[in-house]
A and B are shown apart, each in its own frame.
Chain A
Amino acid sequence: MAGLAGRMSTTIKAKVSSFLDRAEDPQETLDYSYQRQLESLQNVKKGIADVVTSKKRLQMQAERLEQSVVKLDGQARAALNAGNEELARTALERKQLAQNEMQSLDGQVGELEEQQQKLTDNEKKLRQKIEAFKTKKEVIKAQYSAAEAQVKISEAATGVGEEMADIGLAMQRAEDKTEQMKARAGAVEELEASGTFDDLTQIGGGGGDDIDRQLAELSTGQGVDDELAKMRAELGSGSAEGEGESKQLGKGEGSST
């Protein structure tokens, strides 16, 4: 029992006992305990609200990326239709990058969803424990001598204390995860700000080097080639009958370049 769990149980017991040692009047202790528990519950609610806020931010980012994906796909098609393969390739590279980020954000949103659910369940449990403590405290006040009351209070306070420590841990873990995600979301925002997901009509002026560098870092080659071929096939199918042979033109002749 040396680890985290062991430390936690020691901490809870120490907290409860030092708290009870200081108390002169069991009745006061009970009321004070209850007040503290209600405060803790408020903190838990705040914690859940934070998780929801982070989740919404990630969701909004994912939605923006989805719009970029749709737009860039349309531009790639248009570019290819107009015979500008280079532009189509650039659009598809951006589209893939946006798509990758979108998928990773979706995964994170899912994780936060789980955290939120867990915290909500824990909050409900803690609320019920505090309710039970409230009932018990009235019974203790009414029925027990001071000495007996000390023992009963200690038991009840340990029960609630453990629940509070547990929810504290759940919250801590949710916060750690949220922090990691915030960092990730910030990185995506920087990419957005640098124009990585912008549609192609907005290219021009400065920043081009940065975009090129980011695009070059992508290992999207094969995926883009595949998609280009697919698009070409789709676009080609409409006018293929008459011009099918025209693609073979270079065959056998001077394919020197």
Chain B
Amino acid sequence: MIVRIMTEGQFKLADDDIERINELDNVCVAAVDGGDREGFKVAFAQLLDMVREHGTPIADDDLVGSDVLVPPPDTSFEEAAADFTGDGLIPG
């Protein structure tokens, strides 16, 4: 799957990694729902690191669309409320 960290770039990730990212995605949703700022900050940072470390950057001249869009790394807790609702970034 192709994941884009907004304002940063695109990465190609294996399905297993997507699974793990989906878990963190759900943790983010739970944190936002529960008004847990610190919990969100930690989970979101882990999610970003996961994408960066396990993903292979897509070449700049590759014109592929993304399957998942992750909000910008400097997303605030308030902004996150818009993205991390329901299923979060990834369904399921």
Residues in A59-97 with C-beta less than 8 Å from chain B: none
Max chain A CB contacts within 10 Å: which of B4, B65, B84? B65
Contact mask for chain B residues 45-64; partner A; CB cutoff 8 A; 1 contact, 0 none: 00000000000000011111
Q: Does B72 contact A (CB under 8 A)?
A: yes
Q: Does the CB pair B86–A2 fall under 8 Å? A: yes
User: Inside 8 A of A173's CB, which chain B residues have their CB?
Assistant: 7, 72, 74
Q: In whole angstroms, what is the CA distance A246 to B9 when docked?
A: 71
User: Inside 8 A of A136's CB, which chain B residues have their CB?
Assistant: 63
Q: In whole angstroms, what is the CA distance A5 to B89 when docked?
A: 8
Q: Does A131 contact B (CB under 8 A)?
A: yes
Q: Does the CB pair A128–B60 fall under 8 Å? A: yes
B77 CB to nearest chain A CB (Å): 13
Q: In whole angstroms, what is the CA distance A35 to B10 when docked?
A: 24
Selected from A3, A122, A166, the residue in CB contact (under 8 A) with B85 is A3
Q: Does the CB pair A9–B82 fall under 8 Å? A: no
Q: Does the CB pair B65–A158 fall under 8 Å? A: yes
Q: Does B83 contact A (CB under 8 A)?
A: yes
Q: In whole angstroms, what is the CA distance A227 to B61 when docked?
A: 58
Max chain B CB contacts within 10 Å: which of A3, A118, A155? A3
User: Inside 8 A of A132's CB, which chain B residues have their CB?
Assistant: 60-63
User: Inside 8 A of B80's CB, which chain A residues have their CB?
Assistant: 3
Tell me the count of chain B residues lying within 8 A, CB to CB, of chain A.
Answer: 27
Q: Does the CB pair B69–A9 fall under 8 Å? A: yes
Tell me the count of chain A residues lying within 8 A, CB to CB, of chain B.
Answer: 30
Q: In whole angstroms, what is the CA distance A132 to B58 when docked?
A: 13
User: Inside 8 A of A122's CB, which chain B residues have their CB?
Assistant: 7
Question: Beyond A3-B83, A5-B69, is A128–B4 a contact (Cβ under 8 Å)?
Answer: no
Selected from B60, B61, B66, B91, the residue in CB contact (under 8 A) with A162 is B66
Q: Does the CB pair B61–A5 fall under 8 Å? A: no
Q: Does the CB pair A1–B4 fall under 8 Å? A: no
Selected from A6, A159, A170, the residue in CB contact (under 8 A) with B7 is A170
Q: Does B15 contact A (CB under 8 A)?
A: no
User: Inside 8 A of B61's CB, which chain A residues have their CB?
Assistant: 128-129, 131-132
Q: Does A125 contact B (CB under 8 A)?
A: yes
Smallest Cβ-Cβ distance to A136: which chain B residue = B63
Q: Does the CB pair B71–A5 fall under 8 Å? A: yes
User: Inside 8 A of A160's CB, which chain B residues have their CB?
Assistant: 63
Q: In whole angstroms, what is the CA distance A124 to B83 when docked?
A: 28
User: Inside 8 A of B7's CB, which chain A residues have their CB?
Assistant: 118, 122, 166-167, 169-170, 173
Q: Does A193 contact B (CB under 8 A)?
A: no
Could you list 8 examples of A-B contacts with CB < 8 Å?
Answer: A3-B71, A4-B82, A4-B83, A5-B89, A6-B89, A159-B64, A166-B7, A173-B7
Beyond A1-B91, A118-B7, A160-B63, 11 additional pairs, beta carbon < 8 A = A2-B85, A3-B82, A9-B69, A124-B60, A125-B60, A128-B61, A129-B63, A131-B61, A162-B65, A166-B4, A170-B6
Top 7 closest A-B pairs, CB basis? A3-B83, A159-B63, A5-B69, A132-B61, A128-B60, A3-B82, A170-B7
